[in-house]
Amino acid sequence: MEYLNLLLLILLPVTLLKVFSWITKSSPTNLPPGPIPLPVFGNLFKLGKKPHESLTQLAQIYGPLMSLKLGFLTTIVISSSTIAKEVLQKHDQSFSSRTVIDAVTVLNHHESSIVWLPPSPQWRTLRKLTNSHIFTTQKLDSNRSLRHRKLEELVSYIRKSASAGSVINIGQAAFTTVLNLISNSFFSIDLADDFGSDSVCVFKDAVRGAMCEAGKPNLSDYFPMIRFMDLQGVRRGMSKHFGVLDEIFEKIIEKKLLTLQSREGKGDLLDMILDPSHDIGIQLQRHEIKSLLKDFFAAGTDTTSATIEWAMAELLHNPSKMAKAQSELSDILGKDGQIEESDIGRLPYLQAIVKETLRLHPPAPFLVPHKADNNVEIHDLVVPKGAQVLVNVWAIGRDPIQWKDPTCFIPERFLDSKTDYKGQDFGLIPFGSGRRICPGLPLAHRIIHLIVGLLIQSSFDWKLENGLRPEDLDMEEEFGFTLAKATGLRAIPINRL
Ligand code: HEM
């Protein structure tokens, strides 16, 4: 609040001028409906602590195509599958730019980032690289054994904790495993080695820290003329975290170049990018490689581990669903069988659990902000050029018109349905859809099924810490760039065998 007072005091003349030009500037008359904006602040105060929930409630009043003013930023909020389809399918081209947040302009990251670039030739080349050299079925199949090894480490950690009767922080264990899975796929190194402890891991802290800064509602985004003041210290925080990541990547790249010279490369992604004998269709500069790596770690770790933590939280909160999932695993894989990637297709209930988790807890509740490149007419209303477009997938996943008992965890709803999250069913789009759909989806799909399957396999049971009853488990969400569980999920594994 003190930031807002300070802002008013210092910038009153500037803001008044801006207000005047804002009022007089011609904007389309048929903007989507929305709450009346206050001068200067617009509807900023409507966001609250959980913007995904506040905007869902506002959409119940103003409809699934709604407009807001966040400071000086015109924002359009989409809250139904029908309008999401219009935006991400019919008008995909007009909406495939990004509203770039101030946090990611640090070290000019946005200028070479696959996440933040507009749909330019540079972005298209990067997407081509990911789609044809990184996340193809063939490439993912080729490093299956690597994921298997990392899962073995998770199993042995759970076994040890079970023998000692110690508590596991499930989100943290998932994050460590996902981080190591991604770092091994990209450069054959474990970046996290502290499974259970809360001890500081420099890399992990930097990734989490950067996600946290990027997720903060930032006054610099709503009042561009005061960006230089960095009132909330977001740029400072981001510079620190990006600096740490850059330094680590720099060292890894240097080492890789040495191994390539001595022909000891392991054929991982970084070898492929650095070795000129591989034709990947693009020669990336050093800073572009580091941007790509930052994007993959930021976009891939928190999202995937949050999904695993939510799935386990829902199962521990709903013991009958847990029992059903365990029984499917033991029926298909045997009493002490361990899940492998080729088993995923044979486990419909596990797949339904993952879909239901992503419906209720989409890690990116508004996707990544899109931007209108031109005025676009949808159902006689106009989304103005330059507007930020937020697709509220959290609201769409809980839309009572689309889903029966929308707030209940019922994986069974997906058993007789072909609905999937691959971008064609607009009621379930946690990875987005269209040009900007998440390129990491095929990897995330494998990792989430593997880790959730492994955590609930029949050789373990789980009980909540401190004798907590399933119905008392705290299921509160915390808003950020990733929609996290507000309190970490802690449970004790019990060896069944
Ligand atoms: C973009 C979700 C895992 C890499 C996105 C977007 C969403 C998303 C919603 C933005 C789509 C849009 O704006 O329309 C998720 C979820 C994940 C996940 C729910 C796991 C549960 C991953 C993984 C990676 C990854 C594992 C890579 C290692 C990316 C990249 C983009 C992206 C590079 C930017 C694409 C672009 O803007 O062109 N993801 N993601 N994601 N994701 Fe993921």
The response to whether 201 counts as a known ligand-binding position is no
Residue 237's closest CA among 199, 263, 209, 215? 209
**307 Cα nearest atom in ligand 1:** 21
Binding site membership of 309 for ligand 1 (Cβ less than 6 Å): no
Q: How far is the CA of 162 from the centre of ligand 1 (A)?
A: 34
Distance 441 CA to ligand 1 centre (A): 7
Which atom of ligand 1 is least distant from the CA of 437?
11
Distance CA 72, CA 221 (A): 9
Looking at the domain that runs over 1-495, which CATH code has it been given? 1.10.630.10
Alpha helices in 135-230 (DSSP H): 137-142, 144-164, 170-187, 202-215, 219-222
Protein residue with least CA distance to atom 39, ligand 1: 438
C-alpha angle 334-337-340 in degrees, rounded to nearest 5: 120
Q: What is the ipTM of this complex?
A: 0.99
Task: Kindly state if the Cβ of 359 falls inside 6 Å of ligand 1.
Answer: no
Residue 223, classed as helix, strand or coil, is: coil
**Is the CB of residue 368 below 6 angstroms from any atom belonging to ligand 1?**
yes
* pLDDT at residue 96, as a whole number: 98
Q: Of the candidates 189, 179, 188, which has an alpha carbon nearest to the alpha carbon of residue 296?
A: 179
Instruction: State whether the beta carbon of 364 lies less than 6 angstroms from ligand 1.
Output: yes
User: Is the Cβ atom of 296 under 6 angstroms away from ligand 1?
Assistant: yes
pTM beyond cutoff 0.80 = yes
Nearest CA to ligand 1 atom 43: 438
Per-residue pLDDT at 17:
47
The reply to whether ligand 1 has any atom less than 6 angstroms from the CB of 293 is no
Strands 484-485 and 477-478: antiparallel
How far apart are the CA of 439 and the centre of ligand 1, in A?
6
Residue nearest atom 6 of ligand 1, based on CA coordinates: 438
Other residues' Cβ atoms within 10 Å of the Cβ of residue 303: 23
Atom of ligand 1 nearest to the CA of 182: 28
Query: Minimal CA–CA distance to 367: which of 386, 390, 387, 397?
Result: 390
Q: Is 451 in the pocket of ligand 1 (CB under 6 A)?
A: no
CA nearest ligand 1 atom 38, residue: 436
User: What's the rounded Cα separation, in Å, for the pair 208 and 214?
Assistant: 10
Pocket flag, ligand 1, residue 440 (CB < 6 Å): yes
Could you tell which of 438, 446, 448 is best to mutate to test the pocket of ligand 1, judged by most ligand atoms within 8 Å of the CB? 438
- The pLDDT value recorded for residue 161 is 93
Would you say the CB of residue 207 lies under 6 angstroms from ligand 1?
no
- Amino acid identity of 487? T
Q: What is the pLDDT of residue 232?
A: 96
Phi, psi of 92 (to 5 degrees): -50, -45
Give the domain ranges of the chain.
1-495
Name the residue with the closest Cα to ligand 1, atom 1: 438
Structure-token match 């386990």, residue found:
312
Whether residue 175 contacts residue 302, with contact meaning beta carbons closer than 8 Å, is answered with: yes
> In the numeric block, which tokens belong to residue 127?
């997407």
Phi, psi of 344 (to 5 degrees): -55, -45
Ligand 1 contacts CB of residue 397 (under 6 A): no
Phi, psi of 67 (to 5 degrees): -120, 150
Q: State the pLDDT at residue 283.
A: 82
Does residue 175's CB lie within 6 angstroms of at least one atom of ligand 1? no
**Closest atom, ligand 1, to C-alpha of 429:** 9
- Phi, psi (degrees; rounded to nearest 5) at 98: -120, 145
* CA–CA distance, 366 with 84 (Å, rounded to integer): 11
Tell how far the Cα of 432 is from the centroid of ligand 1, in angstroms.
8
Task: State the virtual CA torsion across 18, 38, 231, 1 in degrees, nearest 10.
Answer: 150
Q: Would you state the pLDDT for residue 198?
A: 54
**Would you state the pLDDT for residue 458?**
65
What is the whole-number distance in angstroms between the Cα of residue 122 and the centre of ligand 1? 18
pLDDT for 329: 95
Q: 3-class DSSP state for residue 478?
A: strand
- CA–centroid distance, 430 to ligand 1, in Å, is 9
Question: Hey, which of 431, 435, 437, 452 would you mutate to test ligand 1's pocket, going by the most ligand atoms within 8 Å of its Cβ?
Answer: 431
Smallest CA separation from ligand 1 atom 2, residue: 431
Distance 310 CA to ligand 1 centre (A): 18
pLDDT by position in tens, the chain (length 497)? 445 454 544 554 455 445 444 444 545 679 999 999 999 999 999 999 999 999 999 999 999 999 999 999 999 999 999 999 999 999 999 999 999 999 999 999 999 999 999 999 999 999 999 998 889 999 899 888 989 999 999 999 999 999 999 999 999 999 999 999 999 888 888 888 767 555 558 888 898 889 889 988 899 999 999 999 999 999 999 999 999 999 999 999 999 888 887 766 667 889 888 888 777 777 889 999 999 999 999 999 999 999 999 999 999 999 999 999 999 999 999 887 889 999 999 999 999 999 999 999 999 999 999 999 999 999 999 999 999 999 999 999 999 999 999 999 999 999 999 999 999 999 999 999 999 999 999 999 999 999 999 999 867 899 999 999 999 999 999 998 889 999 999 999 998 76
> What span, in angstroms and rounded, lies between the C-alpha atoms of 357 and 310?
7
Residue 408 burial by Cβ neighbours in a 10 Å radius (0-12, 13-18, 19+): exposed
Query: Is residue 438 in contact with ligand 1, taking CB distance under 6 Å?
Result: yes
Task: Name the residue type at position 107.
Answer: L
CA distance 187 to 286: 15
Q: What is the pLDDT of residue 55?
A: 98
